[in-house]
């Protein structure tokens, strides 16, 4: 590392991850664990010495509207030393996010970055940095982080950088959740050994979120920031005109970027099951893009028969200390809530796996008491042999009983088989629903999502800033009810193509189906949803209009491309990198200006782009998106519901469990009570 890589050394210390909730939500436990973790901030080689580069300010603006969120982060970096310096800012990779805008202020003017292949972007960056020119580079580190390199922070000066990403929003059990990730998951051992992170903000930290909803909002919540967040309801009467909410968090100078920010909003109990279709089409001569969101109502009954539960628990070194003690306490509390006709089995894994219970144990009071004492003796240490843990969990199953497997991990597979194909082969040999619970950011979310989807289960992310009781209740509802499985959504009547994701999987109680697509015609289109409930085929239909021109939401093009890229990367992780799949990722990344595993965003002076023959595709796209955002900011809230004209449309004649259309008994009452805790200075 040369002098130009100087970045201050700070070991980021923050609260660690709650574990008890990961036992699928049978325990109402709220706890946080202390531990050393990395956070968002400036990277510096461990023991690399102090260099006077700091984050002067960190400003975040979030807009949630029309089914997706736009997150804008603007930072100012200051170099108080007497030589020019390079800085690398890192932050955890948000789930399903498209990093599509990185801007650098050069000669006091904003320059928007352009996306090219990863190797070429790195070469241009290194050349510009060597010449002493201002430049920046945004790269994706697999599933873990986005890294923003700033080639030159001038001596005694400062540099201003902006980044923007988009992500689809989903409603779960009438609850919307937005996560601004700042705390990394402590899962990359090589990264932790080499880098330390300065997560301090010398000056202002500000976070503002604006929510626009076409449906009435019952309540909002910002856990862990109750004393800091100013929450206001700015507009809407709850009578069909939509609502606008505003959340502001201002932290004093010297704050840190070590804690996630989670924002919850709860729709009113009267909000119906529905189908929403949001279109974009700039010109009749170009293909259109749409996002469809299906919030189903279906008669999903509680599961009352005796169930076998296999808990596969990560006891590797990253779980050491208070984490393992709290994990044991969580298992203990879970076992005490099981009905007597349930059975349980506990498998632990680190470098190897162990069947702790030696098979299934009936959940009698005597057995539960005895195993609680043994589980509390479990010690953490070693690596993470996830494959062996799952393989052992699949043994000794009883074909005559309903069985579910709960995988709890805060890390990644780093011992034994680690390729996706081996894990999928293991799953396909066993007909068993797998529920994966991932603690923290920067974990192997692509693998966890794929395993859950392939088995017909679900994956849930957990942040240390989450409101634990609420996440537990959401998980409990899913595993304790029937689900819609083998779900298929199809379109007819117009030229709809390139649907993504191509395979839906299962939908659990309260979950939404979010899908993107392209179209070339215009006019009425028929939507058909088919699924099975307890083996019986069910179907629903409604109609929607695909417009000839719709210019309000150009960001949908990026979200469609990102979803397609995710599918291609899933194929690459399972089957290996092929020339065609890599080419498609590169074409989508460069065509829609997205930072991917094979494409990066370079920022440089205009003449550099011209000399390199790089078209200003992203600059034009950003200008179009900003015009649309300005229009939306001043426009009334718009509803994109398409089934309301048909007296219920897709859901006509179906009994509703109340998710999205009314109370659901004790579960919903508990969920409502959780979210309805008072906020500070609510106006």
Whether 232 contacts 246, CB under 8 Å: yes
- pLDDT of residue 508 exceeding 60, the answer is yes
Q: If you search the block for the tokens 């392209």, which residue do you land on?
A: 518
The better pLDDT of the pair 241, 297 is held by 297
What stretches of 405-555 show up as alpha helix (H) in DSSP?
420-428, 445-455, 468-479
Q: What is the pLDDT at residue 377?
A: 84
- pLDDT of residue 680 exceeding 60, the answer is no
**Lowest mean pLDDT: which of 23-37, 257-271, 372-386, 661-675?**
23-37
Which H/E stretch holds residue 546? Answer: strand 536-546
**Lowest mean pLDDT: which of 89-93, 100-104, 111-115, 677-681?**
677-681
Confidence of residue 282 (pLDDT cuts 50, 70, 90): very high
Q: What is the pLDDT at residue 321?
A: 64
Q: What is the mean pLDDT of residues 233-259?
A: 80
First CA to last CA distance, the chain: 52
Q: What is the pLDDT at residue 434?
A: 84
**Lowest mean pLDDT: which of 126-140, 202-216, 427-441, 541-555?**
427-441
Confidence of residue 655 (pLDDT cuts 50, 70, 90): very low
Q: What is the pLDDT at residue 654?
A: 36
Which of 138-142, 474-478, 491-495, 592-596 has the highest mean predicted lDDT (pLDDT)? 592-596
Q: What is the pLDDT at residue 327?
A: 64
470-481 pLDDT, tens per residue?
665 666 677 777
- Count other C-beta atoms under 10 Å from residue 644's C-beta: 13
Which three-class secondary structure string do you get for 305-363?
CCEEEEEEEECCHHHCCHHHHHHHHHHHHHHHHCCCCCEEEEEEECCCEEECCCCCEEC
- pLDDT of residue 272 exceeding 50, the answer is yes
Whether 169 contacts 278, CB under 8 Å: no
113 three-class SS: coil
Confidence of residue 13 (pLDDT cuts 50, 70, 90): very low
pTM score? 0.83
93 three-class SS: coil
536-553 pLDDT, tens per residue?
888 888 999 999 999 999
Q: What is the mean pLDDT of residues 591-614?
A: 96
- C-alpha torsion angle, residues 157, 160, 161, 162 (rounded to 10): 170
Q: What is the pLDDT at residue 124?
A: 97
Q: What is the pLDDT at residue 435?
A: 82
The better pLDDT of the pair 269, 118 is held by 118
How would you classify residue 578: left for phi > 0, otherwise alpha for psi between -120 and 50, otherwise beta?
A: beta
How far lies 255's CA from each of 52, 179, 195, 251, in Å? Answer: 17, 19, 21, 6
Confidence of residue 468 (pLDDT cuts 50, 70, 90): low
What stretches of 365-438 show up as alpha helix (H) in DSSP?
365-375, 386-393, 420-428
The better pLDDT of the pair 6, 406 is held by 406
- pLDDT of residue 10 exceeding 70, the answer is no
SS3 content of the chain, % helix, strand, coil (to 5): 25, 35, 40
Strand partners, 283: none
Pairing mode of beta strands 402-409, 307-314: parallel
Q: What is the pLDDT at residue 678?
A: 36
558-590 pLDDT, tens per residue?
999 999 999 999 889 888 888 999 999 999 999
Confidence of residue 181 (pLDDT cuts 50, 70, 90): confident
- pLDDT of residue 359 exceeding 60, the answer is yes
- pLDDT of residue 342 exceeding 60, the answer is yes
147-164 pLDDT, tens per residue?
999 999 999 999 999 999
Q: Measuring CA to CA, which residue among 506, 516, 546, 618 is closest to residue 168?
A: 516
Q: What is the pLDDT at residue 474?
A: 67
What stretches of 376-444 show up as alpha helix (H) in DSSP?
386-393, 420-428
Q: What is the pLDDT at residue 347?
A: 93
Q: Measuring CA to CA, which residue among 271, 279, 278 is closest to residue 295?
A: 271
Q: Which residues contact 142 (CB under 8 A, 6 or more apart)?
A: 597
- pLDDT of residue 662 exceeding 70, the answer is no
The structural domains of the chain, ordered by start, are 3-165+183-205+599-633 (no CATH), 284-300+483-576+639-651 (2.60.40), 307-479 (3.40.50.410)
Q: Is the N-terminal amide bond of 335 cis, ω within 30° of 0?
A: no
Q: Using the 8-state DSSP alphabet, how is residue 131 labeled?
A: T
Whether 313 contacts 336, CB under 8 Å: no
- pLDDT of residue 296 exceeding 70, the answer is yes
Which of 3-7, 440-444, 665-669 has the highest mean predicted lDDT (pLDDT)? 440-444
- pLDDT of residue 365 exceeding 70, the answer is yes
Q: What is the pLDDT at residue 420?
A: 82
Q: Measuring CA to CA, which residue among 545, 448, 608 is closest to residue 126?
A: 608
374-411 pLDDT, tens per residue?
888 888 888 889 999 999 999 888 878 878 788 887 76
Q: What is the pLDDT at residue 43?
A: 67
- pLDDT of residue 497 exceeding 70, the answer is yes
How far lies 669's CA from each of 236, 363, 663, 664, 676, in Å? Answer: 25, 28, 7, 7, 10
Distance CA 455, CA 431 (A): 7
22-77 pLDDT, tens per residue?
333 333 232 333 334 456 777 665 444 566 788 999 999 999 998 899 999 999 99
Q: Which residues contact 412 (CB under 8 A, 6 or more apart)?
A: 187, 188, 384, 386, 443, 444, 447
- Two structure tokens written together for 346: 């506990």
Q: What is the mean pLDDT of residues 304-327?
A: 75
Q: What is the mean pLDDT of the chain?
A: 80
Which H/E stretch holds residue 464? Answer: none
Confidence of residue 340 (pLDDT cuts 50, 70, 90): confident
How far lies 382's CA from each of 193, 342, 448, in Å? Answer: 16, 32, 21
The better pLDDT of the pair 498, 333 is held by 498
- pLDDT of residue 105 exceeding 90, the answer is yes
Q: What is the pLDDT at residue 594?
A: 96
- pLDDT of residue 259 exceeding 70, the answer is yes
Q: Which residues contact 105 (CB under 8 A, 6 or more apart)?
A: 111, 159, 160, 161
- Two structure tokens written together for 396: 């000794």
Which DSSP string corresponds to 214-242? SS-EEEEE-TT-TTTEEEEEEE--SSSS-
Distance CA 619, CA 623 (A): 6
- Two structure tokens written together for 33: 């664990």
Q: If you search the block for the tokens 């920046």, which residue do you land on?
A: 136
């Amino acid at each position: 590392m040369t002098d130009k890589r100087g970045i201050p050394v700070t070991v980021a210390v923050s609260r660690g991850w709650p574990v008890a909730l990961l036992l699928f939500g049978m325990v109402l436990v709220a706890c946080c664990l202390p531990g050393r973790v990395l956070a968002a901030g400036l990277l510096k080689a461990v023991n690399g010495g102090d260099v006077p580069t700091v984050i002067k300010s960190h400003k975040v603006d979030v807009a949630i509207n029309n089914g997706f969120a736009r997150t804008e982060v603007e930072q100012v970096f200051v170099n108080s030393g007497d030589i020019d310096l390079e800085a690398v800012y890192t932050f955890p990779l948000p789930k399903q996010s498209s990093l599509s805008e990185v801007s650098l202020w050069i000669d006091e003017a904003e320059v928007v970055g352009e996306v090219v292949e990863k190797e070429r972007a790195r070469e241009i960056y290194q050349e510009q940095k060597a010449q002493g020119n201002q430049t920046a580079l945004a790269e994706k580190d697999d599933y873990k982080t986005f890294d923003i390199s700033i080639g030159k922070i001038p001596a005694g000066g400062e540099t201003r950088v902006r980044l923007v990403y988009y992500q689809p929003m989903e409603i779960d059990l009438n609850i919307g959740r937005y996560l601004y990730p700042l705390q990394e998951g402590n899962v990359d051992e090589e990264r932790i050994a080499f880098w330390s992170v300065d997560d301090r903000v010398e000056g202002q930290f500000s976070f503002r979120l604006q929510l626009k909803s076409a449906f009435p909002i019952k309540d909002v919540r910002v856990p862990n920031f109750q004393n800091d967040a100013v929450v206001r309801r700015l507009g809407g009467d709850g009578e069909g005109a939509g609502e606008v909410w505003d959340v502001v968090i201002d932290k004093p100078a010297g704050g840190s970027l070590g804690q996630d920010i989670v924002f919850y909003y709860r729709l009113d109990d009267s909000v119906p099951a529905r189908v929403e279709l949001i279109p974009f089409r700039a010109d009749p001569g170009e293909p259109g893009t749409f996002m469809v969101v299906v919030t189903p109502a279906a008669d999903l009954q509680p599961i009352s028969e005796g169930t076998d539960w296999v808990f596969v628990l990560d006891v590797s070194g990253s779980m050491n200390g208070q984490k393992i003690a709290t994990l044991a306490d969580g298992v203990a509390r879970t076992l005490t809530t099981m009905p007597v006709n349930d059975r349980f089995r506990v498998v632990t894994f680190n470098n190897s796996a162990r069947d702790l219970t030696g098979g299934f144990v009936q959940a009698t009071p005597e057995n539960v008491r005895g195993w609680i004492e043994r589980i509390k003796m479990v010690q953490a240490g070693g690596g993470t042999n996830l494959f062996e843990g799952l393989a052992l969990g699949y043994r000794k199953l009883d074909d005559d009983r309903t069985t579910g497997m709960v995988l709890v991990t805060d890390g990644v597979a780093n011992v034994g088989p680690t390729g996706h194909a081996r894990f999928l082969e293991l799953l396909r040999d066993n007909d068993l629903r797998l529920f994966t619970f991932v603690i923290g950011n920067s974990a192997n979310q692509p693998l966890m999502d794929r395993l859950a989807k392939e088995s017909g289960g679900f994956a849930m992310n957990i942040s240390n800033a989450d409101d634990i009781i609420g996440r537990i209740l959401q998980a409990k509802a899913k595993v304790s009810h029937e689900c819609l499985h083998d779900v298929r959504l199809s379109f007819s009547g117009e030229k709809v193509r390139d649907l993504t994701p191509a395979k839906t999987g299962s939908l659990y109680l309260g979950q939404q189906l979010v899908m993107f697509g392209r179209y070339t015609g215009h006019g009425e289109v028929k939507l058909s949803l088919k699924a099975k409930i307890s083996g019986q085929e069910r179907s629903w239909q409604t109609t929607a209009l695909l417009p000839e021109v719709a210019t309000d939401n150009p960001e949908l093009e990026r979200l469609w491309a990102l979803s397609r890229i995710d599918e291609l990367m899933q194929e690459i992780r399972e089957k290996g990198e092929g020339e065609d799949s890599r080419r498609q990722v590169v074409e989508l990344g460069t065509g829609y200006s997205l930072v991917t595993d094979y494409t990066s965003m370079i920022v440089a002076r205009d003449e550099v782009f011209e000399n390199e023959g790089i078209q200003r595709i992203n600059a034009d796209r950003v200008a179009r998106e900003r015009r649309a955002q300005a229009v939306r900011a001043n426009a009334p809230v718009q509803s994109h519901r398409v089934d309301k004209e048909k007296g219920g449309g897709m859901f006509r004649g179906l009994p509703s469990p109340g998710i999205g259309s009314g109370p659901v008994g004790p579960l919903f009452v508990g969920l409502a009570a959780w979210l309805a805790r008072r906020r500070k200075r609510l106006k």
